[in-house]
Amino acid sequence: MLSPGALRAASGAALLLALGGCGDTERGKEMVARDFRDPASLQWRDVRMVEHGGSDYLCGEVNGKNGFGAYAGFRPFVVDIGWGKAALEPRPQPGDDAAMTEAEAGFYRLLSSPCRQEEE
């Protein structure tokens, strides 16, 4: 029997193989999927490529399953395709240090500005 970590790695590898060669949108989705327990069950909406300041970004929302197998709700995400970095909207957890949560939120706001500007 595989450990949860090995299972996630195997699921991620399978997802990567399934998405291989599908372009920036699919590569960006794969980067976001790494942060979820069950990448194959992810739901996507409002996914779009945005060019901003000479860089390409993938913007949208993603919904994944929590530890109980229920969907946890859509969260905005942004991927800087050139840098290969993905960011999900932070969700404060009980016991989180407020300063850290604020820093994460600031990072997300900074990175997500290309997505918000495209909507205006």
pLDDT for 35:
86
Instruction: Give percent above pLDDT 90 in the chain.
Output: 36
Burial of 61 (0-12, 13-18, 19+ CB in 10 A): middle
Domain count, the chain: 1
pLDDT band at 16 (very low <50, low <70, confident <90, very high): very low
Residue 76 pairs with which residues in a beta bridge?
61
Q: Per-residue pLDDT for 54 more than 70?
A: yes
Q: What is the pTM of this model?
A: 0.67
Question: What string of DSSP letters covers 5-24?
Answer: HHHHHHHHHHHHHHHTTS-H
Structural domain containing residue 26: 4-119
For 116, the 3-state DSSP assignment is: helix
Query: Which tens digits make up the pLDDT trace of 59-95?
Result: 999 999 988 999 999 998 999 898 888 888 766 666 6
